[in-house]
A and B are shown apart, each in its own frame.
Chain A
Amino acid sequence: MVSTDRPTTGQLDLRYSKFLGNGNHSFVILAPLTLPSVVSAPSTHGAVAVKLAGRQGSEREMLLNEAKIYNAFPRELQEGSPQAPPIVPKFYGYYVPSLEAFDSYADDDKFRKKERECIRTMLECITPILLLESCGEEIRAMALSSTDR
Chain B
Amino acid sequence: MVLLLRKILNTWRPSWRQVTSFCFAIPHRRPHIFRGVVTNGDAAPEGHPNKISSLMGDPEEKSMPPNLETFISGEYLPDNIDVYVTSFSHKICDPHLDSGLWEQFIEQHPVRFVRQYPPRIPTDKGTFETIVMACSDA
Contact = CB atoms under 8 A, between A and B. Distances in A.
B78 A19 contact: no
A16 B130 CA distance: 30
- The 4 tightest CB contacts between A and B, nearest first, are A46-B68, A2-B75, A95-B113, A10-B78
Q: How large is the interface on B (under 10, 10 to 19, 20 to 34, 35 or more residues)?
A: 35 or more
Contacts of A118: 97-98, 101
Nearest to A109: B108
Interface of B: 28-32, 49-53, 56-57, 59, 61-62, 64-86, 89-90, 92-94, 97-98, 101-102, 104-105, 108-119, 123, 125, 127-133, 135-138
A96 B52 contact: no
Interface size classification for chain A? 35 or more
Contacts, number: 237
Nearest to A20: B49
Interface of A: 1-19, 22, 24, 26-27, 29-30, 32-33, 35-36, 38, 40-41, 44-48, 52, 54-56, 64, 67-68, 70-72, 74-76, 78-79, 90, 92-98, 100-102, 105, 109, 111, 115, 118-119, 121-123, 125-129, 133-134, 136
